[in-house]
Amino acid sequence: MTTRPNEPLLVAEDSNEDFRMLQRLMRRMTVQNPIYRCTTGDEVLDFLYQAGNYQSPNLAPRPSVILLDLNLPGIDGRDVIERLKQDKSFKEIPIVVFTTSANPKDIELCYQRGANGYLIKPMDANELEKTVQAFVEYWLEANMPPSVIS
Amino acid sequence: MLEEPELKVLQVSSNIKTYLGLQPQDLLDRPLSNLIDPQQAIAIAQMLAGENGGNPLKLSISTDRGERYFDAIAYRTADAAILELEPIDSPNETSFLSFQAAIARVLSQIQRTSNLSEFLQLIVEEVRKLTGFDRIMVYQFAPTGAGCVVAETKRGDLLPPYLGLHYPATDIPQPARELYARCWLRFIPDISAQAVDLVTLNQQPIDLSLSILRSVDACCVEYHRNMGVAALLAIALMQEQQLWGLIACHHYTPKYLTSEVRIACKFLGQLVSLELANKIRQQELSDRIQLKSLQSELIESISQASNFVEALIQPAPRLLSLTNATGAAVCLGNEISLVGATPSLEEVRSLVDWADTQVSDRLFATDSLPQIYPPSLEFQATASGLLLLRISKIRRYYILWFRPEVIQTVTWAGDPNLSIQPATDGSMKLSPRRSFEQWQETVKFKSLPWKSYEIDSANDLKTAIVGVVLRKAEELAQINQELERSNRELAAFAYAASHDLKEPLRGIYNYSTILLEDCGALLDLDGVDCLQTIKRLSQRMEALIDALLRLSLLGKAQLNLQATDLNELLQQAIAVLFASRPEAQLSVCIPRSLPIIECDPILVSEVFSNLISNALKYNDTDVWVEIGYQEQLGISPIFYVRDNGIGIQAHHHETIFKLFKRLHSQEKYGGGTGAGLAIVKKIVELHGGRIWVDSVPGSGATFYFSLK
């Protein structure tokens, strides 16, 4: 299994329990990418713009993929997509939505705003594992991310 | 002029010698049989009794210059019998047969003409063939007495055409029109001929209005002489006992017509009069059908359009042709849309204001607006005529149609300013243009009258619009009903769902507790942590469900309004807050005594405690809160709750009031549900007020709200 230790994954997830579950599954899949977590939309933007609590590149390296919850505290996940995809320096970073919302309007809106993928969080543990597996295999292993050094 | 029954001559033309070689004295006071043979005298008596169908009688009279032939026409007036003699070359009647063919031709063609103007054109062509006159016109009278040339044919080299020209009523004055109405035919073979006096024994005046040879008055002669006409033939066109118009025949050199031709013309005039009624009815019918189809097209597009006004005024000509207007205005409340030639927006607005109070009829038509609404003098050029349709008085829905002043609408014969011709002796002669001036006075500020079917058309439009509006209102009422039902269902659903959701939740919580209590010793730290998390999450879920429940109850709530002392209310709210958080460090400042207002005390108390507990939560230092209000003249006071907390960034000032919206992660600032401000907002809005926030991040926040 080829993993890329220099390609950080940024997870935007406000629920501790959900994040813990994700961590647990990824550990089982031996994901080597460093994982960073933000709990609010405002934090995601601070992380990428290296503002607020993330004013050092060590604290906040440029992610190669963002796994994004939609219903975030503060700035909403939908607005985070819009902000990043309209910014020339961030729009090439793949954003994969990871949410409980199966609302077609949300799916449509996220793709309209430039999301690169849309995954629905299933309730069932096996289903959840399959979804996370698919994410890891495609976005962290198969897919070639944009050059990190830019 | 004869006296019956012995036909004694009472009056005679002074030129009788020219034709009969006799002096008037030779005939006066003697029976007619002195002049003609007894058989002819009997024929004349029969003619007077109306027994020969009005055809002229061929007379032959022996004179000193041999046998002379005459056409004789005899008829009765109120006080005597009249015999008119007209010299002819021979007693032949063959010429009449050729006119029969002409009449037959006209008859067959009349059936084939489909509309009025085609029909009239056919008639002028035929009259020209029959008479050989230079110019034949059909002149139609308007109800006002003015007239217009509606059909014309002329010698090719004659200029200019008169077709379409209008003449004021005084050009053919009322007495002249009455004369035409009484007699089918007027004929002047030579306009410049001297009038021949009548010679009589007594000076009794004589009624010559039925005379064909002597019925032309001096004014008429002068009028036509001014136009360059030398010979004139006028055939009356009657419709329902009214003079509808004339067939006017002009010749520019003297021209004589035989009595046969004249009779043929008269016959044609009668024929046209008969057919006229038919053609007018047909024309009106086809006009109405056209109008109806226009109407249904308009109504169709109104009922389908989402924008009612747009559908009315697009395309513009449709609304105008509905009533044959030149301008229109559609007023929906204060919104006015203008179409075609209309007064200015402001003028229309004032007109509607006036109509609102002064016009009681829902359909109002006038052809002289300036007479009843003097301000319209400013725009009589575009709107001397007004047709006003009121669709709704309460909502001020009107449609107005305008017609210009008549003088503006027609092409007048000749330039009125140049054609007033003073006579050589300095007096003003009655000429066409002089009469125009007089006429202009009488029609000033008047438009063409609104025809009854045009008014009906406006009325039909109203009925249709009301129908459309009613249907839309019905649809709206139905939608409203459904909306209300679905709202009720939603509230019921949220309430039931919240209740039912709590049952399994309690199970999860209770079983986790049992597991921890009974088997806690068997689990490692991770296992215990997982169970604690389950308990914590089920509690959180309960909080969320409670918030939903609270909101759904608020949706159904009736406000329990009562006069409430806010000071008292606030004291209690703060006391409750301290009771639940004894450790809280909070100083509350109320700069001045709060007012007593009408509100639901329980709900408003919830507003204050929510805002104060937020101030407590979102604060990193010692908390102080200031509560006060701003008075505003005529408006209910605006209350505020100010804190020294962390503040809120401007881009979150709206979103914080959304249900379950939080700005911070769950472990920060007490990790609430994000429902508090949504509930506060709902309560404020239930009171008819509004709420907003003003804040600089890091320097505290101030929540403002009003309670109407």
| CB B181 within 8 Å of CB B242 | yes
Tell me the shortest Cα–Cα distance from A16 to chain B, in angstroms: 8
Helix or strand or coil: residue A95?
strand
The rounded distance, in Å, linking the Cα atoms of B183 and B119 is: 23
pLDDT band at residue B419 under the 50/70/90 scheme: very low
> For the stretch B187-212, what's the b/e string if a residue is b when 16 or more beta carbons lie within 10 angstroms of its beta carbon?
bbeebeeeeeebbbeeeeebebebbb
Test the A interface: residue of B531, B534, B654, B663 with most A CBs within 10 Å: B663
The predicted pLDDT at position B208 comes to: 65
| CB A91 within 8 Å of CB A84 | yes
Using the beta-carbon criterion (under 8 Å), do A76 and B666 form an inter-chain contact? no
Is residue B652 less than 8 Å (CB to CB) from chain A?
yes
Query: Given a cut of 70, is residue B209 above it in pLDDT?
Result: no
What percentage of chain B carries pLDDT values higher than 90?
17
Using the beta-carbon criterion (under 8 Å), do B665 and A75 form an inter-chain contact? no
Beta-bridge mates of residue B392: B397
Closest CA to B700 of B614, B578, B591: B614
ipTM of the complex: 0.80
First-to-last alpha carbon distance for chain B, in angstroms, is 101
The rounded distance, in Å, linking the Cα atoms of B12 and B33 is: 15
CATH level 2 (architecture), domain B2-88: 2-Layer Sandwich (3.30)
The rounded distance, in Å, linking the Cα atoms of B210 and B80 is: 12
Using the beta-carbon criterion (under 8 Å), do A73 and B651 form an inter-chain contact? no
The predicted pLDDT at position B472 comes to: 79
Strand order in the sheet with B635-643: B586-589, B623-632, B635-643, B701-706, B691-695
* Full 3-state SS string of B56-70: CEEEEEEECCEEEEE
Range in A106-110, B76-80, B89-93, B241-245 the model is least confident about: B89-93
Using the beta-carbon criterion (under 8 Å), do A74 and B662 form an inter-chain contact? yes
Residues of chain B with CATH 3.30.450.40: 94-191+229-285
Give the type of residue at A8.
P
Give the type of residue at B398.
Y
Closest CA to B674 of A40, A100, A59: A40
Q: Quick check: is A150 in a domain?
A: no
CA dist B399 → A46, B333, B451 (Å): 61, 11, 17
Tell me the shortest Cα–Cα distance from A101 to chain B, in angstroms: 15
DSSP state of A59: T
CB-facing half-sphere around the CA of B386: CA atoms within 13 A: 30
Q: What are the structure tokens assigned to B681, written together?
A: 């907002």
Residue A109's CATH number: 3.40.50.2300
Summary mean pLDDT of chain B: 81
Beta-bridge mates of residue B243: B238
Q: Which residue bears the tokens 């090719």?
A: B156
Q: What CATH number labels B305-450?
A: 3.30.450.270
Q: Which own/partner pairs from B375-382 qualify as long-range (CB within 8 Å, at least 24 positions apart)? A: B375/B347, B375/B350, B375/B351, B376/B343, B376/B347, B376/B351, B377/B445, B378/B343, B378/B347, B379/B343, B379/B344, B379/B347, B380/B405, B380/B445, B381/B405, B381/B408, B382/B326, B382/B327, B382/B341, B382/B342, B382/B343
CATH superfamily of B94-191+229-285: GAF domain (3.30.450.40)
Predicted confidence (pLDDT) per residue in B305-358, tens digit: 767 777 777 777 888 888 888 899 988 888 888 888 889 888 888 888 888 888
Question: Residue B387: CB partners within 8 Å, gap ≥ 6?
Answer: B323, B325, B363, B364, B365, B400, B401, B403, B450, B454, B455, B458
Residues of chain B with CATH 3.30.565.10: 557-706
Test the B interface: residue of A17, A82, A83, A101 with most B CBs within 10 Å: A17
Beta-bridge mates of residue B84: B73
Question: Number of folded domains in chain A?
Answer: 1
The predicted pLDDT at position B95 comes to: 54
The rounded distance, in Å, linking the Cα atoms of B500 and B496 is: 6
Is residue A83 less than 8 Å (CB to CB) from chain B?
no
Using the beta-carbon criterion (under 8 Å), do A39 and B665 form an inter-chain contact? yes
CB-facing half-sphere around the CA of B679: CA atoms within 13 A: 27
Q: What are the structure tokens assigned to B687, written together?
A: 């009171």
Query: Given a cut of 50, is residue B418 above it in pLDDT?
Result: no
Predicted confidence (pLDDT) per residue in B556-614, tens digit: 778 889 999 999 999 999 998 888 888 878 889 999 999 999 999 999 999 999 999 99
| CB B708 within 8 Å of CB B687 | yes
Tell me the shortest Cα–Cα distance from B316 to chain A, in angstroms: 42
CATH level 2 (architecture), domain B557-706: 2-Layer Sandwich (3.30)
Return the axis-axis angle of helices B452-519 and B525-556, rounded to nearest 10°: 150
Least CA distance to A12: which residue of chain B?
B665
Q: Quick check: is A15 in a domain?
A: yes
Of B533, B537, B665, which is closest to A14 when you measure between CB atoms? B665
CATH level 2 (architecture), domain B474-553: Orthogonal Bundle (1.10)
Tell me the shortest Cα–Cα distance from B647 to chain A, in angstroms: 13
Q: Quick check: is A100 in a domain?
A: yes
Residue B6 Cα to chain centre, angstroms: 67
Selected residues 534-553 of chain B with any CB under 8 Å from a CB in chain A: 537
Predicted confidence (pLDDT) per residue in B7-33, tens digit: 788 888 877 777 777 777 777 888 877
Torsion of CA B152, B156, B161, B164, to 10 degrees: 30
Is residue A76 less than 8 Å (CB to CB) from chain B?
yes
Is residue B240 less than 8 Å (CB to CB) from chain A?
no
Closest CA to B340 of B330, B331, B350: B330
Q: Quick check: is A138 in a domain?
A: yes
Residues of chain B with CATH 3.30.450.20: 2-88
A39 interaction partners in chain B (CB closer than 8 Å): 665-666
Is residue A16 less than 8 Å (CB to CB) from chain B?
yes
The predicted pLDDT at position B678 comes to: 93
pLDDT band at residue B427 under the 50/70/90 scheme: very low
Is residue B664 less than 8 Å (CB to CB) from chain A?
yes
Residues of chain B with CATH 3.30.450.270: 305-450
Predicted confidence (pLDDT) per residue in B158-184, tens digit: 667 777 777 776 677 777 777 777 777
Query: Given a cut of 90, is residue B627 above it in pLDDT?
Result: yes
The rounded distance, in Å, linking the Cα atoms of B75 and B83 is: 7
Q: Quick check: is A3 in a domain?
A: no
Range of the domain at A37: 9-142
* Full 3-state SS string of B666-699: CCCCCCCCCCHHHHHHHHHHHCCCCEEEEECCCC
Q: Quick check: is A4 in a domain?
A: no
B661 interaction partners in chain A (CB closer than 8 Å): 73
Give me the helices (H) in B450-524, please.
Answer: 452-519
Q: Kindly give the confidence (pLDDT) of every residue in chain A, 150 residues in length, as a single tens digit, with 9 standing for 90 and above.
A: 455 667 899 999 999 889 999 999 999 999 989 999 999 999 999 999 999 889 888 888 999 999 999 999 999 999 999 999 999 999 999 999 999 988 889 999 999 999 999 999 988 889 999 999 999 999 999 998 886 554
Tell me the shortest Cα–Cα distance from A14 to chain B, in angstroms: 6
DSSP state of A146: P
DSSP B181-225: HH-SEEEES-TTSPPPPEEESS------TT-SSS---HHHHHHHH
Residues B399-417 have a mean pLDDT of: 67
Query: Given a cut of 80, is residue B517 above it in pLDDT?
Result: yes
Is residue A129 less than 8 Å (CB to CB) from chain B?
no
Residues B623-640 have a mean pLDDT of: 89
The rounded distance, in Å, linking the Cα atoms of B628 and B566 is: 10
Which contiguous run of DSSP H or E holds residue B231?
A: strand B231-239
Helix or strand or coil: residue B87?
strand
| Stated pTM of the model | 0.50
Query: Given a cut of 80, is residue B370 above it in pLDDT?
Result: yes
